[in-house]
Amino acid sequence: MDKAIALILAGGRGDRLSILSEERAKPAVVFAGKYRIIDFALSNCVHSGIQKVALLTQYRPRSLNEHIGIGRPWDLDRMGGGIFLLQPYTGRLSSDWYKNTADAVHQNLSFVEESRADLVLVLAGDHIYSMRYDAMLAFHRAHGADCTVGVVEVPTKEASRYGVLTLGQEGKVVRFTEKPAHPESGTVSMGIYVFTRDALMRELERDAADPNSTHDFGTDILPGMVDRCPVYGYQFSGYWRDVGTVQSYWEANMDLVADMPQLNLYDRDHPVLTRVQSRPAAKTGPSAQITRSLVGDGCIINGVVRNSILSPGVYVEEDAVVEDSVVFDDCFIGRWARVHYSILDKEVTVGQEAVVGWGEDFTPNEEEPDRLNTGITLVGKRATVPPRTKVGRNCKVYPGTRASASAFASEEVHSGKVVGTPLP
């Protein structure tokens, strides 16, 4: 069997996640009340027998670095192989900030060479799925491919967000078009690529020498390879979600509270591995009501929680209601408060009788109309919503915003409005 290593692209800023990625890289965003998004790619690698994994980080890496540590939760704290955190560095003529996905890998080709791997798995670090890569590696070898692309089927109307492929006999890629305005099909790239080492090095050197390239795998590398060498598509039929937007992130969380979710987090043969917090078990009071929800360790629930995801340490006081929402670690929901169709980042305080996600007005957000327009309201890390304040739909409360007269000028924040200012 050929030796394989994995490179996980984890340096993206994730602007489409708005303030959720204000202080952290997108792969470090909390998911499913227990995990970080990066945990899924890492767990897939471990379960597939890949023991040498590199994370290519750049944007605000501290939270991600702290989460990964030395790789112990994924059994990657080992002498041979293990986890490697690769960030941009100076010291050679061609080193610089990563310009794009292909450039990030190109700047770390020495890591690929020194690994002596035959196959290189290049992964996006911001997708939610459970997959055995060893089957894809076997497909790649059996077809004599230079590159194999993981593909899934999505509704054609959504395919413009992805790289769209046309497949011929035995899955050979006939055409690859990155984010076409009018896609012809819903066969799209998962952002998972297997390369033979020599092909990867050859194509990245070619790309680096092209002054007109954007140095992106989807835009530049793959379309060119289709015309020059054997590229195949590997069909994946399991659950897969790109959580790059606020709406898709919320939907992927909500998928988990279904009676029989497509993504089985309770699969003992393929568990999602993560850094575990030392918290006591969740506790419910005499008036608590919890339905179709995930509730993390250390939560204390005295109110009502419906169709929601609560991360560890959330406190819901009596007569408070949390519904259709995602709540990060250590948030406090005061008595008689209501949180509906919202996402609260870590350590948010919602005062007594306050409402987050209020009214029937769905005016898009004034700062991000293309990203916050489906009704979801975001409250940033360590922000405080004052008692009796009503925050409408598609609103954005910046991280660290306090319950001051200047931040909340009135007790009503109308839909689409922004409260507070960005962190310096």
Q: Taking residues 332-353, what's their average pLDDT?
A: 98
pLDDT of residue 92: 55
CA within 13 Å, CB half, 296: 24
- Percent of the chain exceeding pLDDT 90 equals 87
- CATH architecture of the domain with residue range 4-255: Alpha-Beta Complex (3.90)
Give 269-272 contacts, CB < 8 A, sequence gap 24+: 270/43, 270/47, 270/130, 270/132, 271/43, 272/35, 272/39, 272/40, 272/43, 272/130
Q: Rounded distance, CA 319 to CA 333, Å?
A: 10
Give 274-281 contacts, CB < 8 A, sequence gap 24+: 274/34, 274/35, 274/36, 274/39, 274/73, 275/67, 275/68, 275/69, 275/73, 276/73, 277/312, 279/312, 279/313
Q: How far, in Å, are 52, 75, 207, 313, 322 from residue 310 at the CA level?
A: 33, 27, 44, 8, 9
Q: Are 127 and 40 in contact (CB under 8 A)?
A: yes
How far is C-alpha 212 from the geometric centre of its chain's CA atoms?
30
Q: Rounded distance, CA 110 to CA 385, Å?
A: 49
| pTM exceeding the 0.85 threshold for the entire prediction | yes
Q: pLDDT of 292-317, one tens digit each? A: 999 999 999 999 999 999 999 999 99
User: What tokens were used for 356?
Assistant: 């987050």
**Residue with token string 């700062």:** 367
Lowest mean pLDDT among 18-27, 146-155, 277-286: 18-27
Q: pLDDT of 161-206, one tens digit each? A: 999 999 999 999 999 999 999 999 999 999 999 999 999 999 999 9
Q: Are 68 and 169 in contact (CB under 8 A)?
A: no
**Start and end residues for every CATH 2.160.10.10 domain found in the chain:** 283-419
Going by C-alpha positions, the residue among 345, 362, 361, 280 that lies closest to residue 18 is: 345
Q: Are 115 and 52 in contact (CB under 8 A)?
A: yes
- CATH topology for 283-419? UDP N-Acetylglucosamine Acyltransferase; domain 1 (2.160.10)
Q: pLDDT of 223-254, one tens digit each? A: 999 999 999 999 999 999 999 899 999 999 99
Going by C-alpha positions, the residue among 132, 126, 122 that lies closest to residue 225 is: 122
Q: Are 185 and 159 in contact (CB under 8 A)?
A: yes
Radius of gyration of the chain (CA): 22
Q: pLDDT of 13-48, one tens digit each? A: 768 899 999 889 899 999 999 999 999 999 999 999
**Start and end residues for every CATH 3.90.550.10 domain found in the chain:** 4-255
Q: Rounded distance, CA 103 to CA 31, Å?
A: 28
